[in-house]
């Protein structure tokens, strides 16, 4: 078994570029589609009125009350040029009591910006109307103080704890893309079984003192270790360098990943049992694997997929169970006992698929 593992390691040691590209690819996909390192949306504000400086000075602090947006005062020409070139999604042309949005296309962020700006302008209009109808000069401060300490306060509280769980779509995409890339890595390594059979290496190993059990274990263990290495590296990079919300129980996250990798190795071994050559595996496996995160809803917010047939099909594969366990640990503080059911399901899928896969490979050999 050790000789098989070291033989597979020697192949990657001579050409480690493929593994490094897969690791870099999972990081880049998360940064591109997950929004990268979190930062507030930048919105340019400017005014073309005669008293432009006063208007900009007045509205800039009023608009910057939400951490989701960062309103920056810029020159009007620069604002229009940056919006047209796509550097920013939207700019706001400020007036004394009104505003205009400068946009090029209807992007998803624009309705949120418009809602926020409209809310600020309506609130300021109401306060100004009350202040103008009153002779008291301190009425504005009294209103602001009243709003800051209103007699009725709303407090959000979770069902099981005082802290309300916070969902982060970027973290979900991090797990989804990391698992997605790991499936390709382990698939390539499991396909070495077929490659060695075709090249004749398998027959020469059979004639050696190595047993078939040790041969299979060697391929499986090396595929497991190289895929787990990719997952751990990506998680460490995003947790300690990119400052992503990965949760406090990193060891439990890695344990879930280990169960997922084992179950996916088993599915790759099952597919190997149906093919006769490495080329057939490369044609089937990359066509089937991208469907797993899609039907599992890994790229969409929770609760998006409600069709019972799709949900049933997704439950037959380990991707949905691994994502559910990851989300529970990261956002809801679940422990080992809370995700034990998902781990057992992935283990069952892995054992079943592994048994069927090895049986098919042996039948085809005979």
pLDDT, position 148: 62
- pLDDT, tens digit, 9 for 90 and up, residues 199-239: 777 667 766 677 778 888 888 888 899 999 999 998 898 88
pTM: 0.67
- pLDDT, tens digit, 9 for 90 and up, residues 73-125: 999 999 899 888 888 888 999 988 889 998 887 776 788 888 889 988 888 88
- Which of 147-151, 236-240, 268-272 comes out lowest in average pLDDT? 147-151
- pLDDT, tens digit, 9 for 90 and up, residues 48-64: 888 888 988 888 888 88
Task: Give SS3 for 38.
Answer: coil
Domain extents for the chain? 2-35+167-365, 41-148
Residues 6 or more apart whose Cβ sits within 8 Å of residue 31: 37, 242
- pLDDT, tens digit, 9 for 90 and up, residues 278-311: 888 888 888 888 888 888 888 877 777 778 888 8
Query: What b/e string do you get for 41-71 counting C-beta neighbours within 10 Å, with b at 16 or more?
Result: bbbbbbbeeeeeeebbeebeeebbeeeebeb
- pLDDT, tens digit, 9 for 90 and up, residues 111-140: 888 888 998 888 888 877 777 776 665 666
pLDDT, position 245: 76
Instruction: Give the confidence band of 40 by pLDDT, cuts at 50, 70, 90.
Output: low
Domain spanning 41-148: which superfamily? Periplasmic binding protein-like II (3.40.190.10)
């Amino acid at each position: 078994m050790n000789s098989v593992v070291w033989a597979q390691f020697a192949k990657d040691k001579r050409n480690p570029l493929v593994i490094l590209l897969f690791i870099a690819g999972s990081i880049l996909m998360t940064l591109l589609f997950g929004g990268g390192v979190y930062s507030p949306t930048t919105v340019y504000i400017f005014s073309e009125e005669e008293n432009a400086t006063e208007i900009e000075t007045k509205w800039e602090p009023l608009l910057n009350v939400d951490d989701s947006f960062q309103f920056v005062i810029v020159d009007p020409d620069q604002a229009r040029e940056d919006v047209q070139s796509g550097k920013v999604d939207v700019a706001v042309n400020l007036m004394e009591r009104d505003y205009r949005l400068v946009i090029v296309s209807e992007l998803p962020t624009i309705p949120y910006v418009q809602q926020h700006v409209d809310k600020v302008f309506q609130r300021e209009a109401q306060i100004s109307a009350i202040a103008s109808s009153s002779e008291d000069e301190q009425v504005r401060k009294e209103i602001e103080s009243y709003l800051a300490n209103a007699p009725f306060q709303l407090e959000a509280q979770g069902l099981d704890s005082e802290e309300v769980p916070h969902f982060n779509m970027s973290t979900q995409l991090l797990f989804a893309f990391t698992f997605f890339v790991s499936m390709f890595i382990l698939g390539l390594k499991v396909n070495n079984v077929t490659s060695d059979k075709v090249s004749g290496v398998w027959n020469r190993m059979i004639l050696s003192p190595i047993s078939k059990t040790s041969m299979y274990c060697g391929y499986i263990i090396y595929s497991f270790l190289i895929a787990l290495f990719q997952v751990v590296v990506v998680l460490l990079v995003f947790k300690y360098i990119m400052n992503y919300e990965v949760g406090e129980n990193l060891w439990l996250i890695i344990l879930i990943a280990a169960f997922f990798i084992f179950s996916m190795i088993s599915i790759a071994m099952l597919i190997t049992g149906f093919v006769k050559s490495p080329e057939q595996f490369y044609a089937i496996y990359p066509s089937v694997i991208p469907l797993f995160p899609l039907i599992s809803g890994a790229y969409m917010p929770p609760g998006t997929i409600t069709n019972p047939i799709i949900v049933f099909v997704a439950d037959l594969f380990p991707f949905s169970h691994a994502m559910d366990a990851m989300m529970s640990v990261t956002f809801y503080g679940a422990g080992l006992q809370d995700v034990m059911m998902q781990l057992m399901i992935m283990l069952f899928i892995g054992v079943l698929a592994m048994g069927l896969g090895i049986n098919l490979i042996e039948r085809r050999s005979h």
